Structure 1
Amino acid sequence: MTLWTDSGVVEAGGVPLEYACYGPDPSEALTLVLLHEGLGCVALWRDFPQRLAEATGLGVLVYSRAGYGQSGPAELPRPLDYMTREAVDVLPQVLAAFDVQKAVLVGHSDGGTIAAIYAGSVSDTRIRGLVLMAPHFFTEPMGLAEIERARLDFETGDLKRKMAKYHRDPEATFRGWNDAWLHPDFAGWNVADVIDYLRIPTLVIQGRDDPYGTMAQIDEVEDRSYAPVDRLELEGCGHAPFAEKPDQVLAAISEFTTRLIRIDAPEIAVA
């Protein structure tokens, strides 16, 4: 399949954000909007967006939030409700900038949380479904311990050098994420109540060996959502299912979106 591609910068939240698009134009077809993790960006999705467009035949839109990748800077320190602000204040502007008509939000880690907050907080009939990879809705001690280890790696190890390959300001990118999660007041952070307001199908994907979160995170979605929930647990997989188990993830998303399109198709009247 030959895919149309585009990349550039779009303004949202008062900041220039880098983006890339694959497949049909967002104004013309169902679009998979990719929302990256707490240290992610456009480049760190690697070839997953292209493969996703090829596997589904749908459009894919990916962008870097403020303070990530080559996007403009974010104000620091980040507020402890930064994921809610991204969902409610910035994501609507991104969707509007690309004239998105129908979308599935595909979020990883922080991005999964942002996707769920948007769907549970904003009345938007354009959003037809959610794909949540390793989302988090509340803090867990083992996850916070891993984030503390990340801080040590950044300050004394190789993480800062690695991040500099992908982020304009790796120090600001890391501190914006890490300082928020390790703030004493963040230990009680919990946004699971947004799940109670989900009214669209959701696919949740979780690695069994994820050091940042347990199955309790996706149990919460399955237990609280009023809409259908599909669940994919991946053996031998950590925090990045799209990178560690791409074939299984692509197959699951393809099957999920095929069903969404079938549900969304207008009924044909029988004479």
Structure 2
Amino acid sequence: MPDSPPVTINEQDTRIPVDGGSLFARIWTPEAPATHAPILLLHDSLGCVELWRSFPRALAAATGRRVIAYDRLGFGRSDPYPGRLPFDFVAREAQHVVPRVCEQLDVQDFIACGHSVGGGMAVETAACCPARCRALVTVAAQAFVVDRTLAGIRVAQRDFQDPAHRARLARYHGDKALWAVEAWIGTWLSPDFAHWSLNEALAGVRCPVLAVHGERDEYGSAEHPRRIAAGRGTACILPGAGHVPHREDERLLAGVISRFLRGVEADGVA
């Protein structure tokens, strides 16, 4: 069977005013977009729009939906974060920033999709906006703090002693790179963050759930997606994949999400 013709995807950059500054956002829109809810991407602890690479375009092509990604304050092309990152930053993003992003972009219903800590933000978003979040997708998300996660962060902490590592990060975050690293490492390794979990938020999730996780994820075992999906949806373990499946095999991940959303569409949910 011949391959399907390539889907034309249009890109648009914009800025979104929020409390504390301005966010950079990018929207990928298929030439003939479906009428279904768009996908909102939430990045990881050191991520940004550019570090999604070509995955949002692949996801828009695979699903036929608009895909929206933004840089959180302190990351990428968004303004610096005004101060120290609070320990409840995961819930705060869902409660205060995501609604503002949706308001500014005239988004009503949406699919919440997040990578790593962005997956935690996606869970919190689904719990905060049960009438608007039509489905939840997490990729390599942590549901609680465990030694494996902290061990991976300590390895990264040592790696960032190398100026070359810091320089690579600065290509994406500019002079905010050091703040981003310290916010990530300092928060997760703090004893005050040790009891953080998504348990309360997960109890409030009412939409279909897909929790994707790499078999070889260095920051957490398969217990995380199982906890996220338990009684709410499906845990999908990608054989051989690590912590960043959207860069390791974007077509595979886009296909997994697309098939999940087609099932949600068939059920008349999204």
Give the TM-score taking structure 1 as reference length: 0.91
Identity across aligned pairs (percent)? 33
Q: 1:5 to 1:29 in 2, by over 3 A?
A: farther
AA partner of residue 71 (structure 2): S
CA distance in 2 between partners of 1:147 and 1:232 (Å): 24
Tell me how far 1:205 sits from its aligned partner: 0.4
Residue of 138, 147, 155 corresponding to 1:149: 155
Tell me how far 1:105 sits from its aligned partner: 0.7
- Shifted more, 103-112 versus 5-14: the winner is 5-14
Aligned position for 2:4: none
Q: Which consecutive aligned stretches of 4+ in structure 1 deviate over 3 angstroms post-superposition?
A: none
Aligned position for 2:3: none
1:38 aligns with 2:42: no
Tell me how far 1:3 sits from its aligned partner: 2.2
Aligned position for 1:83: 90
Aligned position for 1:190: 197
CA distance in 1 between partners of 2:149 and 2:163 (Å): 19
1:263 aligns with 2:267: yes
Tell me, what secondary structure is at the counterpart of 1:4? strand
Asked whether the 8 Å contact 1:13–1:93 carries over to 2, the reply is: no
Tell me how far 1:195 sits from its aligned partner: 1.1
Tell me how far 1:113 sits from its aligned partner: 0.1
Tell me how far 1:262 sits from its aligned partner: 2.4
Tell me how far 1:241 sits from its aligned partner: 1.3
1:54 aligns with 2:54: no
Q: Per-residue displacement from partner, 1:194-226 (whole Å, max 9, x unpaired)?
A: 112211001110001111111111121233x4x
Aligned position for 1:269: none
CA distance in 2 between partners of 1:252 and 1:199 (Å): 21
Q: CA-atom RMSD, angstroms?
A: 2.0
Q: Per-residue displacement from partner, 1:114-173 (whole Å, max 9, x unpaired)?
A: 0101212x1442210011001112101011011112111112353211101111221111
Point out where structure 2 has 5 or more consecutive residues left out of the alignment: 1-6
AA partner of residue 17 (structure 1): L
Q: 1:213 to 1:265 in 2, by over 3 A?
A: closer
Q: 1:79 to 1:265 in 2, by over 3 A?
A: closer
Point out where structure 1 has 5 or more consecutive residues left out of the alignment: 267-271
Q: 1:265 to 1:134 in 2, by over 3 A?
A: closer
1:163 aligns with 2:166: no
Give the TM-score taking structure 2 as reference length: 0.91
Residue of 175, 182, 201 corresponding to 1:175: 182
CA distance in 1 between partners of 2:199 and 2:210 (Å): 16
Residues 70-109 of structure 1 aligned to structure 2 (within 5 Å): 70-109=77-116
Tell me, what secondary structure is at the counterpart of 1:155? coil
